[in-house]
Chains A and B, each alone.
Chain A
Amino acid sequence: MKVPLSWLKDFVDISDISPEDLAEKLTNIGFEIEEIQYLGQNIENVFTGKITKIKKHPNADKLVVCDLDMGKQTLTIVTGADNIKEGDIVPVATDGAILPCGKKIKSSALRGVTSQGMLCSGEELCIDDSVIEGAEVDGILILPHETELGQDIKTVMGLDDYVFDVSVTPNRPDCNSIYGIAREVGAVLGKKVNSPSLKYEINNTINNDIKVNVSNFDLCPRYMASRIKNAQIMPSPKWMRDRLRKVGIRAINNFADITNYVLIEIGQPMHAFDYRNIEGKTINVRMAKTSEKITALDEKSYSLKPDHLVIADGKKPIAIAGIMGGEYSSIALDTNDVIFESAIFARGNVRTTSRNLGLSSESSVRFTKGVDYWSCETGMKRALALVWELGCGKIVGGIIDIKQKEEKEKVIDVSINKINSLLGIEIPSQKIAEILNRLEIKTKIKGDTLSCVIPLFRTDLENHADIAEEIIRYYGYDKVGFTLPDTSSSIKIGVNKFYKAVEQTMQTLVGLGLYEILTYSFINKNWLIKLNFDKDDYRLNTIDLLNPLSEEYGSMRTTLIPNLLSVAAYNLNHKNNEFRLFELSRVYLPKKLPLKDLPQESNYLGAVICNEKDDFLTVKAIVENVLRDFGLNASYESSKEPFLHPGISADVKINGQKIGFLGAAHPSVLKNYDIDKTLYILELDYDKIWQHKKSITFKPLSKFQAIERDLAFLVKEEVPAQELIDHIQRSGGENLESVELFDVYKGAQIQKGYKSMAFSLVFRSHDTTLKDEDISKNIDKIIRGLKYKYNAELRS
């Protein structure tokens, strides 16, 4: 909300407070000032002066020498302009002047004659005709004859003014107006607030013969209409145009400007119709009929639907209620009979209609914030007062006022005790009453009960919490004390275990040299195609947004892989060639599409590794370290994930359930991402890991000595190591403490297609010191079993 201080001064005296102090006071009561703009910024030492004499320049044909009467002094100035004559009043940039373009003016000699400054054009002052007539002419700006001499040009042009950009919170629609802000300023400064002038005379000889019918009071609780005869359409006076310009509204004509002026000053959107184009002299506020159309003031045609509220005459819609008038019934240069509309339209309907039609206006924006009974009536009266003040028409007696009900000021009874205990401080009742009275809330105190009469424009006040806020924002938040809630009874122990587990996992990964990344939850659906998914892969069933920023952020991710690969590609493009990255975050898996119920949001752990020294086994170590924190051991099976290298990839299983995968990225996927390095990726369903977690129980340590045996076997290359380990473990007997694969060898001494695998076995008993003969049976069983199942030959 833009508030020129010169306009604010109409209602409240702010002459004894600086703009900065005023801004701070407003901020402290909840109206943040986002910007203080000084309109005359960058214009210094430019004053008005009268040209008393123009002489030829002795040394230059194209220059003249002017004598200027600056009121208290005279100056000599050389200029090349040819649109000036003696007697003209012009802006003079004197010695030391600064112009908006940044130019600094100094006394200097021009071809031998000293010029004590410069005469200015409108362009040099960065103004146009809307600021002052003649500003756009090619040459010096000629000011009106009555202009006082020696005045600061900023004062002459109304630029000696501050404009506040006030951030108005949505609960205070009434403050989207100069007068609304003035009320708050009055209250905070403890000053009287003058009402806007609502004075006008009625011409009783003619009647307001328009009939108004409202068929939907829910969407239009109040509709007011007035008629102005003998209207003269012309430009509005300069003061009005100046004010509209300062708040960013373009002047059109007096009637349009009056409606805009009221919008800004009172906060009530209004509309003006041309009486002669209202057929049947009837205004019907009704729902649009199917396939009704209207050409609005923006000259575009809109097809209306039955849930759009319209203003119609006897035959057709003449306005889309609260949004925009129709072209046909709008004010034209030859209009001489005007109907003013001031109404309350339900903000929800204005919002949906506006969104639906893709049409918005100053008026619709204001209606969606909410107007009230007070602004509706005051707005109409203020508009009529302005017509009367401008003398641009005869006001017909009798404002038509159709309303659902007589709106009365509501009364809220609150407990003073309750307010004080909510705030945690004791504010004396008298102080409370004083603050509320300043806000035009009339109060009565009876014991602990505070009776508050809420003015019509305060639709936001409903209960004791609202009243408490009104009190504290004026009483001052700096008076609120510092205590901590006494809620020791609410402390729950051990509820943050999952969060702690996440922290632990992250620390484990960091310890393994991984860096955490954060990526958007959105993905581009096409990225999934880059991953070679089958048509029926569940990960293609993404939850898509109806209004995404773009296709790139169009769907909720079902896997972390696309984002991991994108980040890898980004880093490689920036010549960051070595990295280990992880993300622990959510994926979004619908139970059914289109979405009926909320989807499953699962925490996934994903990682991407690009490092010359790293290979599949490094990534496997990462997986195992993560699982170890949960007391888990995984098994691994060849993976069929389409985006992984078929020979260097594995599904990770716990208790037979797949919880994720790891492996080298498939070369064709890498190609899709323009990556020419080997990447390893992994993804684990972290929630499933959490479900499988095991608590650790201590196993007693044996006091007896262990026996170690190393066994090497020759097997076919394709036999997986894990199977041999599993087999050894199963057939090693109860005293087999551990099996470790310590060497895999292929090469010179080994038959082609075979490998040698060497295992270190440790046997230990809890009851006795084992002797060789105690374990020889187990060793034999292992050797026989491996021979039988895998044709493994013991190497000696």
Chain B
Amino acid sequence: MEQKLNELVENCISKLKDCQNLNSLNSLKIELLGKNGELTQILRGLKDLPPQERPQAGKIINKTREQIEKLINEKEIVLIELELKNKLEQERIDITLPAAKVSRGGLHPQTIVRNRIIEIFTSMGYSIEDGPEIETEYYNFEALNIPDDHPAKDMQDTFFITDNFKHNIILRSQTSNTQIRVMEKTKPPIKMLNPGRVYRCDDIDATHSPMFHQIEGLVVDKGISMCDLNGTLSAFIKELFGEKTRARLRPSFFPFTEPSVEADASCPFCDSEGCKICKGVGWIEILGAGMVNPKVLENCDIDPDVYTGFAFGLGIDRITNILYGITDLRIPFENDIRFLKQFR
């Protein structure tokens, strides 16, 4: 019997070698250990043995059984792993196929830039305010120290909606109307930003648009100085164009600020060496700014002997186009999906 059992184990080992999948392993399991399996047969033969030999023989049979089970289990683990491996291999795909057409959309490049600018200023504690695009002449001109006969009105040809002399309703030509609206309802300290659409009677071409986007900034408090304006604009320009960028102020004129300046950034594309983008001069015009004209403060019932302030206004369209190298103002308004997909 012992010999038989040994043969059984040998047989098992040799059959396991040939066993290539879980099915044949299962068959083998039944063949060896099942109800009609060989081991069961041997077990049944126990009753033919003399009683005193039976316990010993039973022990041996059980041991053999354990041995075979262990062998099968070991093989089973190997086979499961193998089958999984095969299955995964069959599922292999061509990972170089183009990605499926499920994807995020994107914001318009102008919004991306606007959000960046707003983030810079809101991180410095600016609030975001709003003003009407359809506005009275008072808020767009008079209150900003642009009287009816002032030549500054020639700087911007305005779209008119009504023609009632003096009390005309127009499309605002600048976001500066929001300065007045905010100063009328809020007393200093004021620290605000207003992004919005503005309109001027310019025929549409590569460098002109009848509608564009500005961001207005205004700070009014006790003791605000030109240095505060300079520091603010410099911080902004460095944040937007990179730490290496420098800001410079140049004298300019706006009726609602005095002194008035233009702020330039050293060209970040050529390190001020002179390139196509800065037209060879090494500087890029970024925005107009200045100290709030005392007359404007007076118009809003803010005492210019107590309070001073600065204001600035920048064109989002222009800055977007500079940042992305867009050379034609019309392209962003065409909204060609091939254009829109370039900005994420």
Interface residues of B (CB under 8 A from A): 101-108, 110-111, 115, 118, 122, 124-125, 127-128, 132-136, 148-152, 154-155, 159-163, 169, 171, 188-191, 197, 199, 201, 203-204, 210-211, 219, 221, 223-228, 230-232, 234-235, 248-253, 255, 258-261, 291, 293-295, 308, 310, 332-338, 340-341
Task: Check B104 against A513 for contact (C-beta < 8 Å).
Answer: yes
Instruction: Tell whether A576 pairs with B336 under 8 Å between CB atoms, given A477-B250, A549-B210.
Output: yes
Contact yes or no, B253 A30, CB < 8 A: yes
Given contacts A481-B227, A598-B135, contact A465 B293 (CB under 8 A): yes
Question: Chain B: which residue is nearest A425 at the CB level?
Answer: B227
Contacts of A422 in B (CB 8 A): 225-226, 291, 308
B-contacting 9-mer, from A400-408, A580-588, A690-698, A776-784:
A580-588
Interface positions, chain A 13-40, Cβ under 8 Å from B, are 27-30, 32
Contact present for A482 and B107 (CB under 8 Å): no
* Interface pair B234/A482, CB less than 8 Å apart: yes
| Cβ-closest chain B residue relative to A485 | B228
Partner of A517, one of B134, B253, B335: B335
A374 to B188, CA, bound (A): 42
Most buried by A among B190, B230, B251: B251
Assuming the contacts A478-B248, A485-B224, A556-B134, asked whether A549 and B203 have C-beta atoms less than 8 A apart, the reply is yes
- Tell me whether B154 and A547 are in contact (CB under 8 A): no
On chain A, the residues within 8 Å of B203 by CB distance are 549
**A586 to B, closest residue via Cβ:** B133
User: Are A469 and B251 neighbours in the complex by a CB distance under 8 Å?
Assistant: yes
Once A30-B251, A370-B151 are accepted as A-B contacts, the answer to whether A487 and B210 lie under 8 Å apart by CB is: no
Docked Cα-Cα span, A580 to B201, in Å, equals 32
Query: Which residue of the partner chain, among B105, B223, B230, B258, contacts A469 with CB atoms under 8 Å?
Result: B258
A482-B231, A484-B235, A519-B335 given; 16 more Cβ-contact pairs under 8 Å: A170-B150, A170-B255, A422-B291, A473-B259, A481-B231, A483-B225, A487-B125, A490-B125, A492-B127, A513-B102, A515-B337, A520-B210, A571-B337, A576-B336, A581-B335, A581-B340
B336 touches A518 (CB 8 A): no
- Shortest CB–CB separation between residue B152 and chain A, in angstroms? 5
B-chain residues with CB within 8 Å of residue A520 when the two chains form the complex: 210-211, 333
Nearest CB on B from A567, distance (A): 5
Q: Is A463 an interface residue (CB 8 A)?
A: yes
Chain A proximity of B88: nearest CB distance (Å): 30
How far is B118's CA from A498's CA once the two chains are assembled, in angstroms? 14
A482 to B263, CA, bound (A): 14
A586 touches B226 (CB 8 A): no
Please, which residues of chain B bring their CB within 8 A of the CB of A740? none
Q: How far is the CB of B291 from chain A (nearest CB, A)?
A: 6
Query: Of all chain A residues, which has the CB nearest B155?
Result: A170
Q: Is the CB of A598 within 8 A of B134?
A: yes
Query: Does B235 lie within 8 Å of A515, measured CB to CB?
Result: no
Check if A570 sits within 8 Å of B134, measured CB to CB. Answer: no
Contact between chains at B151 and A490 (CB < 8 Å): no
Interface centre among A30, A489, A519, A543 (most CB of B within 10 A): A30
Q: Are B253 and A515 in contact (CB under 8 A)?
A: no
**Pair A348/B148 contact, Cβ less than 8 Å:** yes
| Secondary structure call for the B interface | mixed
Which residues of chain A are within 8 angstroms of B335 by Cβ–Cβ distance?
517-519, 567, 570-571, 581
- Cα A553 to Cα B199 in complex, Å, equals 12
In the bound complex, residues from chain B placing their C-beta under 8 Å from that of A496 are 122, 127-128
> Are A599 and B231 in contact (CB-based, < 8 A)?
no
6 nearest CB pairs, A to B:
A348-B149, A424-B225, A424-B227, A490-B189, A30-B251, A169-B253
Contacts of A560 in B (CB 8 A): none
Closest residue of B by beta carbon distance from A603: B130
B340 touching A484, Cβ below 8 Å: no
Does A548 touch B at the CB level, under 8 Å? yes
With a cutoff of 8 Å between Cβ atoms, the chain A residues found around residue B199 in the complex are 521
- Contacts A513-B103, A516-B111, A601-B133; is A490 near B336 (CB within 8 Å)? no
In angstroms, Cα B308 to Cα A424, docked, is 11
Report how far A595 CA is from B169 CA in the complex, Å.
Answer: 8
Q: Most chain-A CB neighbours within 10 Å: which of B101, B102, B204, B258?
A: B258
A428 to B250, CA, bound (A): 22
B104 to A473, Cβ gap below 8 A?
A: no
Name the CB-closest residue of A to B110: A518
* Contact residue among B150, B251, B338 (Cβ-Cβ distance under 8 Å from A576): B338
| B154 CB, min distance to chain A CBs, angstroms | 7
Determine the chain B residues whose CB is within 8 A of the CB of A484 once the complex forms. 124, 228, 231-232, 235
Find out whether the CB atom of B106 lies under 8 angstroms from the CB atom of A516: yes
Please tell me if A491 contacts chain B, counting CB pairs below 8 Å: yes
* Bound form: Cα–Cα A30–B231 in Å: 21
Residues A516 and B128 in contact, CB atoms below 8 Å apart = no
Choose one: B151, B332, B337; the contact of A173 (CB below 8 Å): B151
- Distance to closest chain B CB from A413 (angstroms): 14
Contacting B at CB under 8 A, from A489-545, are 489-492, 495-496, 498-499, 503, 506, 509-522, 543-545
The residue of chain A having its C-beta at the shortest distance from the C-beta of B191 within the complex is A490
Determine whether the beta carbon of B105 is less than 8 Å from that of A515. yes
CA distance A585 to B110 in the complex (A): 13
CB distance from B222 to the nearest CB of A (A): 9
